[in-house]
Amino acid sequence: MTVAVTGIGVACGLGHGKTAFRKGLYEAPDIFSCLTREGRGPAEGEPPFIGVEMPEPSEVLAPRLARTASFSGRVALSVLQEAWQDGGLDDIDPERIGLVVGGSNLMSREQALAARDYSARLAYVPPRHAHMFLDTDICGLCASTFKIRGFAYSLGAASASGAVALIQAREAIRSGRVDVCIALGALQDLSAYDLHAMRSLGAMGSMRFSEQPGQACRPMDAARDGFIYGEACAALVLCRQDLAAAGKTYGRIAGVGLAVDGARGPEPNSAGQVRAAMTALVEAGLSASDIDYVNGHATGTPAGDDAECETYRTLGLEEARINATKSILGHGLSAAGAIETAAVFIQMKEGLLHPTRNLEKPLDSRFNWVRSEPAVHDIRRALKLSFGFGGMDAALVLEAPDSGGHTS
């Protein structure tokens, strides 16, 4: 059964909605600065954190209900509303619609704020705290606001969560459980605790570029020194191809791969990445030589980018065009795989690849990088890679609507 993508909703530092997203992808403005959202301040004497924060979302809920929802939840509703309308889901039987939310421990900043505000007066903790900080609260918010009555659940795969949500949504359709399934990469709302830990781990970028925040995020560049956090959220509507409205398809998910490489922490593993990619290619009935575009995980961590380049070499992807969406948005963590897949489909529709910011000295000059300017390119078959702490390796093969792809 062929599964198509028929709706997209996005939010990130570029703004809310596909119009702002598309414009920002190609203009690649400098949206990096010191993080200022409450609960992300550094410890006394420590430098601030560099990253990207998004504008406030449009409110879907009435004010009384909005006060009971987390920031991650309110952004999820705004993004889902755009995807729902884009996918034309009002006419679908609600019992044939499912939802998979990718991400875990999504509200840590607001939990830290609650601990600050109520630790000395626990008797005054709001009753809503019992459920609003559970990841499943986003499922509940979405299903109670939109007509989703098939199923809804959340999953965690670290920074691969958004991609794994897409994999699970596709499988739910192919198994016949539902006809439509929404994959939502949720906003990972980091606290100062998380940011300090990531910096101490060496995964997050240092303050080497504190005077020039726009230079800090540099995936696949020789001067990279860690990922730079960026708030993001995306929802993609997956649908049985035969139910998709004529001419209303962004593309297809032709093959998927998911592997675990046996690592507990942040250590990347090229062998696991290759296994995931090969699984996706085999399912799609393709070889690596059929891939003309790669949207990499490309975080900007030294070990991560080195391992990913090794994966490209092993697969033989030297001819494919390659860019890094995180160079523009920052690293959306749980949302990364979903919003970067949305970026693939936007580029597929436009026939134009977005630039890679700060790619001044690529790690391997043999690859066909898209650097400082957009590049005209007709994407037919793309490989999207997404990896997460804990050895999570995910791969998606994405095809253009008219590519005549594999349909088994």
- Residue 246 pLDDT exceeds 80: no
How much is the pLDDT for 207?
84
The tens digit of pLDDT for each residue in 104-147 reads 999 999 999 999 999 999 999 999 889 888 999 999 999 999 99
For 252-399, CATH number?
A: 3.40.47.10
3-state SS assignment for residue 167: helix
The alpha carbon of residue 286 and the mean position of all alpha carbons in its chain are separated, in whole angstroms, by 24
- Residue 24 pLDDT exceeds 70: yes
The tens digit of pLDDT for each residue in 74-87 reads 999 999 999 999 99
How much is the pLDDT for 408?
31
DSSP string covering 253-318, please?
Answer: EEEEEEEE-S-SSS---HHHHHHHHHHHHHHHT--GGG--EEE------HHHHHHHHHHHHHHT-T
Q: Which CATH number fits domain 3-243: 3.40.47.10, 3.40.50.2020, 3.90.1150.10, 3.40.50.1860?
A: 3.40.47.10
Percent of the chain with pLDDT over 90: 92
Measured distance CA(218)–CA(301) in Å, rounded: 9
Length of the chain: 408
How much is the pLDDT for 202?
92
The arithmetic mean of pLDDT across residues 182-198, rounded, is: 97
How much is the pLDDT for 132?
86
The arithmetic mean of pLDDT across residues 293-308, rounded, is: 98
Q: Is residue 184 within 8 Å of residue 73, measured between CB atoms?
A: no
- Residue 405 pLDDT exceeds 80: no
Domain extents in the chain? 3-243, 252-399
Whether 3-243 shares its CATH topology with 252-399 is answered: yes
The arithmetic mean of pLDDT across residues 310-327, rounded, is: 98
- Could you tell me the two tokens for 404? 């005549």
3-state SS assignment for residue 169: helix
How much is the pLDDT for 404?
64
What is the phi/psi pair of residue 394, to 5°?
-125, 145
The tens digit of pLDDT for each residue in 155-180 reads 999 999 999 999 999 999 999 999 99
Rounded alpha-carbon distances, angstroms, from residue 169 to 184, 196, 349, 407 = 10, 34, 22, 17
How much is the pLDDT for 407?
37
The tens digit of pLDDT for each residue in 219-245 reads 999 999 999 999 999 999 999 988 887
The tens digit of pLDDT for each residue in 271-298 reads 999 999 999 999 999 999 999 999 999 9
The arithmetic mean of pLDDT across residues 44-67, rounded, is: 94
The answer for 274, left when phi > 0, alpha when psi is -120 to 50, beta otherwise, is alpha
The tens digit of pLDDT for each residue in 387-399 reads 999 999 999 999 9
